[in-house]
Amino acid sequence: MTRERGNVVDIHTKSVILRTNDHRLVVLFLNAIQSPRIDLSFLTNDYQFMDRCIMDTEKAKMARSVVMWSLQCNVTDEQLLRLNAKIIQLKSDCISNAAIIKLIKQWKKERRIIERLHISSPRINIAEIMEHIEGKCWKELTGICMTIWTEVDESGYTHAIKGGFCQLAAIAVQQIDGVPTFLLRVVKMTEEHKTAIVEQCGQQCDKSYKKMNA
């Protein structure tokens, strides 16, 4: 929905899909959106590149999801950590292990909500990341965690991690288009799984679920 105010156009929308070569148009468009949080997606353009300055806009930082399909956007560690999106898909030569580790630690401490991460960078090293986030090979899982892991329906995930809100996530690093890509996907749980997790972890898990769904 659009609304004109003189020469100014206000845009109200829940999601945006953009395909352009000009980052200046993206910034202008995002600044015109009045909706507080949006799902933001970029399709590949003629140059297969998008200027990282768009990540400094408030709409990008506050977006529910930020997805760049086959686009290089050399987002920095600082820009990545300022994003509040639950779903992030980026390709950048600048993102380091340290930023990914910090992102996951924030999730483990319930300081952010994550559903999916898909981050490509030549600087990614799975061994260093796993050393700092206390992940496990999925074969080491036991009890309810192993039961939930069976719900993972995509191949290639090698590790598991317990995060904030008593969630379980699948993790892997794969070579995608010749670039190391860090993948994290929170495993969807049934109500029975959630109940079992709460019973196993106690009141803290119950408080976590209420906090996440507030």
Give the tens place of pLDDT for each residue, 93-106. 999 999 999 999 99
Task: Give residue 55's pLDDT.
Answer: 96
147/159 same-domain check? no
Q: Is residue 205 part of a domain?
A: yes
115/29 same-domain check? yes
Q: Rounded to the nearest 5°, which phi and psi values hold at 91?
A: -130, 115
Reported as a pLDDT band with limits 50, 70 and 90, residue 171 is very high
Task: Enter the pTM of the model.
Answer: 0.85
144/163 same-domain check? no
138/203 same-domain check? no
Tell me the per-residue pLDDT of 123-168, one tens digit each, with 9 for 90 and over. 999 999 999 998 888 888 877 778 777 777 666 888 988 887 778 8
Tell me the per-residue pLDDT of 42-81, one tens digit each, with 9 for 90 and over. 998 888 999 999 999 999 999 999 999 889 999 999 999 9
Task: Give residue 27's pLDDT.
Answer: 92
Last residue of a domain, one of 104, 122, 151: 151
Q: Tell me which residue has tokens 């156009």.
A: 9
132/109 same-domain check? yes
52/122 same-domain check? yes
Q: Is residue 4 part of a domain?
A: no
136/206 same-domain check? no
Domain count, the chain: 2
Q: In percent, how much of the chain has pLDDT > 70?
A: 87
Q: In percent, how much of the chain has pLDDT > 90?
A: 55
Last residue of a domain, one of 151, 174, 194: 151
Q: Is residue 1 part of a domain?
A: no
Do residues 140 and 158 touch, judged by C-beta distance below 8 A?
Answer: no
168/73 same-domain check? no
- Structural domain harbouring 178: 153-213
Last residue of a domain, one of 131, 151, 171: 151
Task: Give residue 30's pLDDT.
Answer: 92
Closest CA to 146 of 162, 123, 130: 162
Q: What is the mean pLDDT of the chain?
A: 86
Q: Is residue 45 part of a domain?
A: yes
- For the chain, the C-alpha Rg in angstroms (whole number) is 19
203/173 same-domain check? yes
Q: Is residue 6 part of a domain?
A: no
Task: Give residue 1's pLDDT.
Answer: 44
Q: Is residue 121 part of a domain?
A: yes
40/100 same-domain check? yes
Task: Give residue 2's pLDDT.
Answer: 47
145/195 same-domain check? no
Tell me the per-residue pLDDT of 6-40, one tens digit each, with 9 for 90 and over. 555 678 889 999 999 899 999 999 988 988 899 99
164/82 same-domain check? no
